[in-house]
Amino acid sequence: MRSDTAPAIRLEDYSPAPYTIKAVALDMQLAPKATQVHARLTIRRLTDTLPGTPLVLDGGGLELTSLSVNGAAIPVESYTVTPDKLELLSPPSEPFELEIGTRIDPDANTQLEGLYRSSGTYCTQCEAEGFRRITYFLDRPDVLAVYTTRIEARKSEAPILLGNGNPVESGPVPDKPERHFAIWHDPHPKPSYLFAMVAGDLAHVADSFTTRSGRNVDLKIYVEHGREDKCDWAMDSLKRSMRWDEEVFGCEYDLDVFNIVAVSDFNMGAMENKGLNIFNDKYVLADQDTATDQDYANIEAVIAHEYFHNWTGNRITCRDWFQLCLKEGLTVFRDQEFSSDMRSRAVKRISDVRLLKSHQFPEDAGPLAHPVRPRKYTEINNFYTATVYEKGAEVVRMLKTLVGAEGFKAGTDLYFQRHDGEATTIEAFLASFAEVSGQDLSHFALWYEQAGTPLVEVESSYDATAQSLTLKISQEIAPLPGQADSKPAVIPIRFGLIGSDGADMAFENVEGAEVRQDCLILSQRRQTVRFSGVSERPALSLLRGFSAPVKLHAPEKDQDLAFRAAHDSDPFNRWQASQTLATQSLLRLVRAAEAGEELVADSVVLDVFGSILSDGSLDPAFRALSLQLPGEADLAREIGKNVDPTAVLKARDALRAALGSTHMDLLRAALSQRESGPFDPGAEAAGKRALANQALAYFAASGASDAALIVNDLFDRADNMTDRLAALTLLVHGDLPGAQAALEAFRNRHETSSLALDKWFMVQATAPLSSTLKTVRDLAGHRLFDENNPNRVRSLVHAFATGNPSQFGRPDGAGFSFVADHVLALDARNPQVAARLLTCFRSWRAYEAQRSSHAEAALQRISEAENLSRDSRDIVDRCLQ
Ligand code: BES
Ligand code: ZN
């Protein structure tokens, strides 16, 4: 039976609540199975609310234990209550105090929203709508209150008691010698989703930071005992984030303490609760033996992201959840900029664009497509998407391009100053930039309204006599569910005209589009742009730095791409040129594989990759990225329909093998350059490791007789997780001799590190082998598998569904069926994680007929399940619609 379809919430229906809550005093008596919460809310009727208007508070599975108004118990006929709603039928018209007692069961909370326990530690997750699982409340982001939290627990169970804001008082509880308490006060008014508390037996590392105006801030990171030595990188990242935000955005921290708690059961990556960030421990804990270079980079970025929310999200928050990109898109933009300043800007940009294309583009092209600011939702948890986050960040980046660096700084200054302490909107955000720049941004605002990735097509012709270059440009968004037509957007296209000497050429004049510095500003469906004074036929470099989140089709010969891969002055486009070249070549190989023909790699690709491999003047991290072929999912996306993932895998394997055997000598040379010496997690050393491991991967793919030996040797000798995991992956994915022994050695070595074991599961789940499904099924029954731990589920089931296109997309449909089984099992316990797993079906219509019918059957089976959560119901319905 279908569960009832939940009503859609619509942006156009927004209205403020009739009452507001100015202050919250919470008292939480913690006990594993029966926590008693007492909330005292100071409530005021809004001036335009009629006296006697009912007050409706949200609840989430609550049990009410007491209720009083202004200190007096209220009669049963003056309220109604269910687990999900408390309604005061005729509240006082003057400000009043409402006291609510609720009882909750943290141990039974498997959905990890509200108050739950992770390895015995009490913790909370309130975004987006988790606070209502703690007490009845106006659980919406435009109700801003000052919170005081008193936490009480058994001292032995929870010696550490943490809340938002600053610590006020703590001590023993009179007459209860086994219990103690702590009181925290947060002076900054905030929405309920930023509430947090933690109680447990935790260790910590401490440091401090002095803000630019001289405030001394105590920094602490809390972790399970024995993990204190894995916090150095996170702490260092935090201090660098705090300094950077002062220097770049003028944002200073505003409390006396900043606490981070790492927990091992967490639905998301991390959460920006005011003064008390709670993290998935994979974004805190790192050391040489258990964390890869990618883990280090992620920790730096996530720590920064959550810290940056203190201004973009917390001080200035969202009026409603439709404005989610106001905090998330902007904060992702900020963390991307931070990482760019800490590392190589070019490498960071390439990595971010790869992520955008692999996650956001497919979302934006399928049944789950939605605007950066959606207009309706049924379950808000399903809108923490790549579109809101990554495309949202791209839109902020375009805004910066359009108003310029100075305009952008002035705009953010004005936004911070004008809206501090408010819950606001995208309109208010854009208005700040319009005002300081004098630009009309109303057309630009379409980026927030319209779903889909614009396809920009460019046809160029050069007239040698007239010395002119003409570009015929069009933009179009393919029809999407609920969006048949699209409007042309403002699209900034950074560009350069490259001469035969490899340098950017000058030109005299441009007609047909506005040009600002090196940027062409498109705004119409079709435009013809004419450059005059162009002295020779240029190689066209368009969309430099990926200046807009669009698909660019500008037909270019392999030779021109090879030229730009070597000479484009824009590093992003150099990378893009080599990727486009490899993509074109791979697509030809896919067609050959489908036709059962011999797979012969194009020599121009082999040559370009050889040049990159041997060019010691390039940054190793950049070379490593440039040597990486487009992934199977990238190719599937390019193919678009009738996708046969087996052919895609074959094509990619063929090119990898050809690259390996063609460049054997260069690869051996690169391998011998592996550096030894003390481990350094910094970007430069990480780049060298990435390059060496990329070379090793091609070497292994070459089928050289000593390949397995060399990879096994690296596995045995590796003194860090990056190299060890790279070797293990090659052994397992290549099904090389020694793979099973290496897996066993890895498991034994890391038996006690949950995060390292996640990698052990992930390597096996992503092996492109026909035996993998059986392996993954066995692993789901392994003693080390834990279906209640989101990280473990992600490392096995999610990794299989998203990181193993050929096996998830097996022609017999067994891969789909396996994942569907897990979605259903998970849905009852943790709907948020189940729904996220379910999104891996979103591109099901792109498969060839046999596979897509198997995928559809799997979706149908999920759709027909009884009591499906609202989260999964929403995704499955949209996928099938
Ligand atoms: N506010 C979110 C965390 C969140 C998301 C809580 C959805 C509840 C529901 C946090 O700031 C965030 O965006 N975290 C990201 C990581 C970040 C680096 C992009 C996450 O958790 O994936
Ligand atoms: Zn965020």
- pLDDT, tens digit, for every residue of 190-222? 999 999 999 999 999 999 999 999 999 999 999
Ligand 1, atom nearest to 389 Cα: 19
CA distance 740 to 332: 40
Span 332-359, average pLDDT:
98
Q: For residue 823, how far is its CA from the centre of ligand 1 (angstroms)? A: 21
Confidence category of residue 814, pLDDT binned at 50, 70, 90: very high
CA distance 584 to 558: 8
Identify the residue whose C-alpha is closest to ligand 1 atom 4. Answer: 271
Task: Tell me, using a 6 A CB cutoff, whether residue 268 lines ligand 1.
Answer: yes
Catalytic residue (one of 129, 224, 306, 394): 306
Q: For residue 384, how far is its CA from the centre of ligand 1 (angstroms)? A: 8
306 as an active site residue: the answer is: yes
Q: Which of 349, 241, 289, 370 is nearest to 681 (CA)?
A: 289
Q: For residue 304, how far is its CA from the centre of ligand 2 (angstroms)? A: 10
The encoded tokens of residue 595 equal 């036709």
DSSP state of 714: H
Q: Which of 262, 226, 218 is nearest to 242 (CA)?
A: 218
DSSP-based three-state secondary structure for 848: coil
Task: Tell me, using a 6 A CB cutoff, whether residue 723 lines ligand 1.
Answer: no
Answer for the pair 876, 838: CB distance below 8 angstroms, yes or no. Answer: yes
Identify the residue whose C-alpha is closest to ligand 1 atom 1. Answer: 271
Burial (CB count within 10 angstroms: exposed 0-12, middle 13-18, buried 19+), residue 229: exposed
| Site to substitute for ligand 1 among 132, 282, 306, most atoms within 8 A of C-beta | 306
pLDDT at 37: 99
Span 652-660, average pLDDT:
98
Task: Tell me, using a 6 A CB cutoff, whether residue 272 lines ligand 1.
Answer: yes
Confidence category of residue 396, pLDDT binned at 50, 70, 90: very high
pLDDT at 2: 45
Task: Tell me, using a 6 A CB cutoff, whether residue 593 lines ligand 1.
Answer: no
Task: Tell me, using a 6 A CB cutoff, whether residue 383 lines ligand 1.
Answer: no
Q: For residue 333, how far is its CA from the centre of ligand 2 (angstroms)? A: 10
Q: Which of 291, 294, 265, 297 is nearest to 750 (CA)?
A: 291
DSSP state of 504: B
Answer for the pair 497, 490: CB distance below 8 angstroms, yes or no. Answer: no
CA distance 330 to 317: 12
Task: Tell me, using a 6 A CB cutoff, whether residue 297 lines ligand 1.
Answer: no
DSSP-based three-state secondary structure for 327: helix
Helices H / strands E in the chain, number of each: 29, 33
Task: Tell me, using a 6 A CB cutoff, whether residue 298 lines ligand 1.
Answer: no
pTM of the full predicted structure?
Answer: 0.99
CA distance 344 to 619: 9
Length of the chain: 881
| Site to substitute for ligand 1 among 384, 390, 394, most atoms within 8 A of C-beta | 384
Ligand 1, atom nearest to 268 Cα: 21
| Interval 761-808: pLDDT, tens | 999 999 999 999 999 999 999 999 999 999 999 999 999 999 999 999
CA distance 658 to 651: 11
Confidence category of residue 75, pLDDT binned at 50, 70, 90: very high
Answer for the pair 213, 246: CB distance below 8 angstroms, yes or no. Answer: no
pLDDT at 4: 56
The average confidence (pLDDT) of the chain is: 97
CA distance 747 to 761: 10
Q: Please, which residues bridge with residue 541 across strands? A: 496
Q: At what angle do helices 293-308 and 232-249 cross, to 10 degrees?
A: 50
Task: Tell me, using a 6 A CB cutoff, whether residue 305 lines ligand 1.
Answer: yes
Q: Which of 568, 498, 566, 584 is nearest to 535 (CA)?
A: 498
DSSP state of 435: H
Q: Which of 259, 248, 23, 34 is nearest to 147 (CA)?
A: 23
Ligand 1, atom nearest to 130 Cα: 8
Q: At what angle do helices 392-419 and 324-342 cross, to 10 degrees?
A: 100
Q: Which of 158, 141, 567 is nearest to 317 (CA)?
A: 141
Span 832-855, average pLDDT:
98
Q: For residue 313, how far is its CA from the centre of ligand 2 (angstroms)? A: 8
Neighbours of 75 (CB within 10 A): 7
Q: For residue 324, how far is its CA from the centre of ligand 2 (angstroms)? A: 9
CA distance 674 to 19: 65
Task: Tell me, using a 6 A CB cutoff, whether residue 874 lines ligand 1.
Answer: no
CA distances (Å), origin 148, targets 25, 40, 134: 5, 10, 15
Answer for the pair 519, 496: CB distance below 8 angstroms, yes or no. Answer: no
Backbone Cα Rg of the chain: 28
